[in-house]
Amino acid sequence: MGYPSLLYKSAPKLSPMELTVFEDLQLLNFIPKSVAKTVKIPCEAENITARQELFRSLSGSDAREKFSRLLDISAELNSLDSIYSSARCDAEKSAVFLALMRTERDFAVNAAASGFGDALSDCFATAFSREIKGESYRSMSAEIDSLYPEYEKQLDISLKSHGQEIKVGAASDVTYFDRIVKCAGTLGIEPPKVRETKKRRLSPDIITAVSSLSPELSEKLAAFSKKYSSLYVRPVIYYHSELRFYVTMLGFLDMIAEAGIPLTYPELSDERGIHVTEAYDVSLLAKNEKHIVPNDIEFTDAEPFYYLTGANGGGKTTYLRTVGISAVLFMNGCPVPARHAKFGRLSSVFTHFPRDERFDGSGRFVEENGRVNKILERMDGNSLVLLNETYSATNEENAVIMTEKLANLLYGKKIFGLYITHQHSLAESEIPYLNVLIDRNDSNRRTFRIAKQKSTGGSFARDILERYGLTPEALTARFGSPDGKAKEE
């Protein structure tokens, strides 16, 4: 049978995002790399809508418990599949196959009961419901119930060695460890704890010896394997990564909600643009930040790209992450941390943040420029590009020239994006500005609010000079003009 995906209603067509995007947005603090492999593949509108429906279904505890149960079973199924695929003798292969198919049956039965009314889960449940009702499958299920109790008894054995000789027999009800614990209790000594040890595969010789204890059972297992091997289709194991995506993302969304941050499912629009009201940088939750300041996000076809400037420590990088995280969650069919959201089509997110690696001056510039060129090669008209102090590795003059050239290119192509920069000579650019707002009535306190406005051309420097009476006007008033003329009294 064909196994329908829990992730895609139609096959994905967009290229995967780079893992560095998740590093820059600090999402790997919440999403392991194994899950990021799924998250990095952007969805188009049909798949976004389908996932939103499934995430809504999974908001109920019953549906979520069923998916968590399926995830646990799929993990066991993957483990058994690995052992089965690498079996080193026929006896091992036959024995493992019974356990494998018993676990596969458990998965299929639970999957058949996991349709929640949305397109993805209903298609998934229907496929497995059809499978378990088949005549061959029902016959196999009956044989599993008959064979497995006998098979379990054979799993409980003891091995005794004497020189090169190994004796295999039925396990004693009382193990050596049980005797040690009993003895320790008699002497008033705290009993030892069992340390977890790495599981080891038994050698083919031992497996063959064990199977010789019950030749009749071994024959039954071999016959079962031969009869039903065609019913095991390996693609079923790939549900593990799909289920892990939902369970992991639900845990992340729970953390956001528990922090008192609202979550909303974005509307999908045919018009180009990104409109988000009161969006949050939830990466700050990794630092136990309790008071995250929300900001609005607004990109339109007329103004798709902005410079972002303002005070250091005022929230520029935080805002960049806010925009990026909102976009990534949207493209994965998840709710976004905001009051309201509306997105047009997005194809990918690209980020260019300073790297932590140590370079000499030229080495870092070459690395920066190489990453920029890679973005330019891969982006399209529906990409979101987030640049953080790009070209900071070169001198001021070159930085201004290259920043202006790159920003004008992106703006001209109507690429959605932001460019954090301190290059004040860019203030006269036609590219619109977003600025960090400060509270001039409260000692120029940073508000961590971002708003569209004309560039001040001086980041926070002017505010500091005004605060301490060091502006040119204040100095002239106190000490006279630069031409040497004293201030007239």
19-46 b/e with 16+ CB inside 10 Å = b? Answer: eebbbbbbbbebbeeebbebbbbbbbee
Q: What is the mean pLDDT of residues 267-281?
A: 98
pLDDT in tens, 388-406: 988 877 778 888 889 999 9
Alpha carbon of residue 395 to chain centroid: 37
Output the pLDDT for position 211. 59
Would the pLDDT of 178 be above 80?
A: no
Instruction: Report the range of poorest mean pLDDT among 27-31, 170-174, 193-197.
Output: 170-174
Output the pLDDT for position 150. 86
pLDDT in tens, 287-299: 999 899 999 999 9
Q: What is the mean pLDDT of residues 1-19?
A: 93
Of all residues in the chain, the percent with pLDDT exceeding 90 is: 61
Output the pLDDT for position 489. 43
Q: What is the mean pLDDT of residues 90-113?
A: 94
Residue 361 or residue 448, greater confidence = 448
pLDDT grade for 375, boundaries at 50, 70 and 90: very high
pLDDT in tens, 186-225: 767 777 676 655 555 555 555 555 555 568 888 999 999 9
Output the pLDDT for position 269. 97
Domain regions of the chain by residue span:
56-158+165-195+210-244, 261-458
Distance CA 295, CA 291 (A): 13
Residue 46 or residue 401, greater confidence = 46
Would the pLDDT of 173 be above 90?
A: no
Instruction: Report the range of poorest mean pLDDT among 117-121, 239-243, 462-466.
Output: 462-466
C-beta of residue 331 within 8 angstroms of C-beta of residue 44: no
State the Cα angle at 239 between 18 and 109, rounded to 5°: 165
How many alpha carbons lie under 13 Å from residue 285 in its C-beta half-sphere?
Answer: 21
Distance CA 179, CA 98 (A): 33
- Reduced to 3 states (helix: H, G, I; strand: E, B; else coil), residue 65 is helix
**Distant-in-sequence, close-in-space partners of 400: CB < 8 Å, separation ≥ 6:** 423, 425, 426
Kindly report the number of other CB atoms within 10 A of residue 85's CB atom.
11
Q: What is the mean pLDDT of residues 400-421?
A: 94
pLDDT grade for 158, boundaries at 50, 70 and 90: very low
Instruction: Report the range of poorest mean pLDDT among 49-53, 175-179, 300-304, 357-361.
Output: 357-361
Whole-number average pLDDT of the chain: 85
pLDDT grade for 304, boundaries at 50, 70 and 90: very high
Would the pLDDT of 360 be above 60?
A: no
Q: What is the mean pLDDT of residues 280-292?
A: 95
Of all residues in the chain, the percent with pLDDT exceeding 70 is: 79
pTM (two decimals):
0.82
Q: What is the mean pLDDT of residues 148-172?
A: 60
Instruction: Report the range of poorest mean pLDDT among 51-60, 80-89, 304-313, 355-364.
Output: 355-364
pLDDT grade for 39, boundaries at 50, 70 and 90: very high
Would the pLDDT of 476 be above 50?
A: yes
State the Cα angle at 262 between 261 and 265, rounded to 5°: 140
Instruction: Report the range of poorest mean pLDDT among 232-236, 307-311, 383-387, 442-446.
Output: 442-446
pLDDT grade for 254, boundaries at 50, 70 and 90: very high
Which numeric CATH code is attached to 261-458?
A: 3.40.50.300
Residue 110 or residue 174, greater confidence = 110
Output the pLDDT for position 423. 73
Give CA separation, 156 vs 159, 174, 196, 211, in Å.
10, 12, 19, 12
Distance CA 22, CA 417 (A): 17
Kindly report the number of other CB atoms within 10 A of residue 224's CB atom.
21
Residue 22 or residue 212, greater confidence = 22
